[in-house]
Structure formats: C-alpha cells, structure tokens
Amino acid sequence: QSALTQPASVTGSPGQSITISCTGTSGDVGGYNFVSWYQEHPGKVPKLMIYDVNKRPSGVSYRFSGSKSGNTASLSISGLQAEDEADYYCSSYTNSRNSYVIFGGGTKLTVL
C-alpha cells in the first residue's frame, strides 16, 4: 500500500506560518477522522503533535493546528520558531486489509 503523500520539504521564516499537506484516499484520510501528525528531530523519538485531525495532546503548543478537507489533511504551524525545524509525518487509520495505520513519507521543515 502506498504511503500518504506529503511534500518533501517546506520552508518558512521565523514568525511566519506554514502548512504541510497530507493526501490519501477515501479508504484512509478521507474516510476517517483518525489523522495524526508527528514531529521528529534528528536522532530523537517522534512526538505526537496532532491527533484525530485537529486535537492537540497536552503540552503541545497552540501554534500547531490540524484540519482536513476531503482526502487531504493539513498541519499548520503559526509563528514559526527555530525549534520547529524538524521532519513532520502524517498518519491515518486505513481500512485496507494490508495494514492498520499508514504514514506519509515525511516533510522536512526548514526555518530560515
């Protein structure tokens, strides 16, 4: 099963806002509100930033928000900070017999 589609890279300046997209199908992103987003710094463990499309776990900054339209989910980060520079992965429940959760290929966010 193919991974969810994310842009390979996104760039922003401190203080700006960016959005990362995550495109799937009606069998995953479009069919269920079980989209999550993870932040991964080099050599570190992935950190859950958004779950169930638009919910933030305790302790995650309000600058991170999620949304979904059709088969595409999005992660938005406002007021970019240098510490936001990381890889970001989306994931979704999938109704495929071949899997249960499918991840995106990841997006490298660079804060210039």
Partner 1 sequence: QVQLVQSGAEVAKPGASVKVSCETSGYTFTGYYLHWVRQEPGQGLEWMGWINPNSGVTKYAQRFQGRLTLTRDTSITTVFLYLGRLRSADTAVYYCARVGVGATDFEFWGQGSLVTVSS
C-beta closer to partner 1: residue 74 or 79:
74
The site map against partner 1 for 83-102 (x = CB under 8 A) is: ------x-xxx---xxxxxx
The least distance separating partner 1 from the CB of residue 15, rounded to whole angstroms, comes to 29
Q: Do residues 91 and 82 make contact, with C-beta atoms less than 8 angstroms apart? A: no
Is there binding between residue 57 and partner 1 (CB under 8 A)? yes
Q: How many residues bind partner 1 (CB under 8 A)?
A: 24
For the CB of residue 1, give the shortest distance to partner 1 in the complex, in Å. 8
* Residue selected from 52, 81, 83, 110 as contacting partner 1 according to rule CB under 8 A: 52
| Residues 76 and 54: beta-carbon distance below 8 Å | no
Q: 77 pairs with which residues across the strands?
A: 18, 64
- Nearest-angstrom CA–CA distance, 2 and 17: 29
CB of 16 to partner 1, least distance (A): 25
- Most distant pair of Cα atoms in the chain: their distance: 43
3-state secondary structure of 22: strand
